[in-house]
Amino acid sequence: MELRQIQYFMEVAKREHVTEAAMALHVAQSAVSRQIFNLEKELGVNLFIREGRNVKLTMIGQMFLEHMEQAMKVIDEAQREIEEYLDPMKGTIRIGFPSSLASYTLPTTISAFRDRYHQVKFQLKQGSYNELIEGVINGDFDMALIGPVPKQEKKVAGTTLFTDNIVALLPLSHPLADSPSIKLSQLREDSFVLFPKGFILRDIIVNACGQLGFQPKVSFEGEDIDSIKGLVSAGLGITLIPEITLVDGLPRSTVKIPVMEPEVSRTVGVIIPIERKLLPTVRLFYEFLKDFFSILDQYQR
C-alpha cells in the first residue's frame, strides 16, 4: 500500500467522481483509476460502487476511509513536527474561533505575534462552541479561542485570558437608550435578537433572564455577531452582546448600555488538547497569548 494510493483514494471518496478527483490532483484520470484498482486488488475488497460516471463508497470503503483519515492526520502531524523542530519560526498554527472573537481579539493577537515572528503562518476556521471543542480534541485545530472557557471537558485544557462583560445593545429609539445602566428585568417585555438554540451565547442570555423569572421573547435569530448587530440596528429588537464585539464601534442607530442586577459576563480563553503535545510553533503562540493578555490586563488595571 502506497501513500499515493491513499491520497488518490481519499480524493475520489471526497468527490465521488474519478474525473473530478484527477483534475483536483492534477494527474490523468487513468492514473487515478489504476491506483484505485491496485489498492482494491491489494486489499481484496471493492472500496467503491460504480454508478455511471459517479462512484460511492461501499460499507468497507467507508470504514477504510475513516481509518485512512486518522492515518493521514498522524503522517501530516509527523511531517509538521519535523519541520517545526528544524525551524519553529516558520511553522503553521491551526486555530478555531467563534464569530464573537473574529473582528478584534483574534486579529489583534495574530498581528502582535507576527510583528515578532513574521514567518509563522496561520490557518483559521470559525466554528460554534461545541465544534471548537471537538475540533481541538480530534486534531482539526491545534488550539481554539473560546468563550466561555469550558471547565468540565476532560480532553482539553482551558486557560482564561480575560473576562468579557455582556452589555445591552439597543436601538436609539428605545425608551431606555439614554440610561447610564439598566437592570436586566427592565428588558422583560422587549423582543430579543439572539443566536439560534444550541449556541452558547444564547444559553448565557437565556440563563441570566431565567434567574429573574422570565424567558426572553425572541423575534429574530442570527448565526453570527454581525447579523445580530444589523438586526438591532434596523430596529427589529434588542440584544445582549459581548462588549469585546463592539470595541471597533457601534452599529448605526444603536447604543451600548451596561447591564446591572445581575451583571452578566463570560470568560474568554484558549483551549489546547490534553492527549497531544503542542508542536513548537503552536507552543510559541500559546505562551505568547498568555503573556500578551497578562500584560494587557496589568495595563488596563
Q: CATH 3.40.190.10 region(s) of the chain?
A: 85-161+268-300
When pLDDT is cut at 50, 70 and 90, the band that residue 205 belongs to is very high
d(CA 278, CA 195) in angstroms, rounded, equals: 33
Contact between 124 and 249 (Cβ < 8 Å): no
Burial 18-50, CB ≥16 within 10 A → b, else e = bebbbeebeeeeeebbebbeebbeeeeeebbee
Q: Which fold has domain 3-73?
A: Arc Repressor Mutant, subunit A (1.10.10)
Q: What is the Rg, in whole angstroms, of the alpha carbon atoms belonging to the chain?
A: 24
Cell digits of residue 255:
447604543
Q: What is the secondary structure of 135-203 as a DSSP string?
A: HHHHTS-SEEEESSPPSS-SSEEEEEEEEEEEEEEEETTSTTTT-S-EEGGGGTTSEEEEPPTT-HHHH
Predicted TM-score (pTM) of the model is: 0.73
- State the CATH class of domain 162-266: alpha beta
**Residue 42 vs residue 301, higher pLDDT:** 42
Per residue in 42-65, pLDDT tens? Answer: 999 999 998 877 899 999 999 999
Q: Give the whole-number percent of the chain exceeding pLDDT 90.
A: 75
Q: What is the mean pLDDT of residues 17-45?
A: 91
Q: CATH 3.40.190.290 region(s) of the chain?
A: 162-266
Per residue in 124-134, pLDDT tens? Answer: 999 999 999 99
Backbone phi, then psi, for 169, in 5-degree steps?
-115, 115
Alpha helices in the chain (DSSP H): 3-15, 18-25, 29-43, 59-86, 105-116, 129-138, 200-211, 225-233, 280-300
Q: CATH 1.10.10.10 region(s) of the chain?
A: 3-73
CB atoms within 10 A of CB 288: 15
Architecture of domain 85-161+268-300: 3-Layer(aba) Sandwich (3.40)
